[in-house]
Amino acid sequence: METLHTLTELLKNSGCDYQIYDLGRRIQPIDNALFENVEKELQAYPYPVQRQAQIAIAYWNKSQQPWIWFLKFNLDERGLLKQADIGQFIKFVLEAMGSRLSSDLTEEQQQKLANNPYTFKPSEDKMAVFHSQIRAQLDLETSQYYEHAQHYFSGDLGWNNWQTVGLQGITDIVARLEQSQNHVALRKALVHLPPEPLYALLGALEHAPLPEKLAQCLCEIASAQINSAEPDLFLTSAMVRALSGATVEQAKPLYEAILASPRLSHQEVLIGIAGRSWHWLSEPKIAEEFLLRLAESGNQALFNQLFSDLVMLPELRIVMLPLLHSNPSPRLADALIKLQAHAKGS
């Protein structure tokens, strides 16, 4: 058998269909050709978090029941995967399974494959979102919680009777926004929801492309919140994250209003922008305003962490790096000097 150097080669060699997902930032598919280029070191990993690629690989045969690996790999300073790590993981796979990926594993094989430094277990909420997405993609049955969640968000059960609504049911609805008028039901439900189901729904929406009218409804609720006399900053943060799937044009008035206000630019809100809605920072002026608010928080450790994380994103690198050599406000300049001193000292 020929030597396999990349995960793409391994998956293609299996004869299965497959899909790569990013799990680190927003749970979303990565184009197979793009991931192949990443493995060939032709481009950086598109969605790094804490200098890692955190991915799920789902592969399936005609039965359509997918096998899934959850993997994390460290990235080098250019955002590239380290070939030695990929090679080492492939070695683990071949030792545990042989070259036949499209067969069920024995318990011994599963244990052998799991015993490596590259597999990890995502958080419960991310697992729910991911399983809903992959089952929707393959047109597999929803979970047993789906119909009950639909009844709740239609208002049939009464808005205060949310305790029996399963998270998996909520993520199933969000993975199928365009089916059964789900997005219409959610839009009508938003203003009625108690905090617990509202936050669960917003958490699921963080990972979904939003239909225009649903995104507009979220923008209106978030705008009312930030214009109130006593805005709820944690709800504002949740809204910012949920709107990561809206178009930049729809969300722009909202994030401009947030960054124009020191009071609204709370650490939780800024973390939400950096973690889920980083693409809002692609304009240099907006990126500089974001970093100024972050510097004004007085939390230099958080400033260092978020700047270092954002500069690893390929689409933001060319926006963030020039700011190190520009003439920003004294407060931001001071934070950038401390960031560079920290980088030299570490």
Full DSSP string of 141-184 = PPPTTHHHHHHHHTTTT-TT--TT--HHHHHHHHHTTTSTTHHH
pLDDT tens sequence across 109-124: 777 777 889 999 999 9
Residue with tokens 């790094």: 48
- What gap in Å lies between CA 241 and CA 236, rounded to an integer? 9
Residue 103 has pLDDT above 70, yes or no: no
Amino acid at position 67, single letter: W
Residue 328 is predicted with a pLDDT of 77
- What gap in Å lies between CA 21 and CA 154, rounded to an integer? 31
pLDDT tens sequence across 157-186: 999 999 999 999 999 999 999 999 999 999
Q: How far is CA 33 from CA 56, 91, 102, 112, 254, in A?
A: 16, 23, 21, 30, 34
- What gap in Å lies between CA 57 and CA 7, rounded to an integer? 9
Tokens coding 48: 């790094």
Task: Give the global pTM.
Answer: 0.93
pLDDT tens sequence across 214-232: 999 999 999 999 999 899 9
Residue 200 has pLDDT above 90, yes or no: yes
Average pLDDT over residues 11-36: 94
Residue 1 has pLDDT above 60, yes or no: no
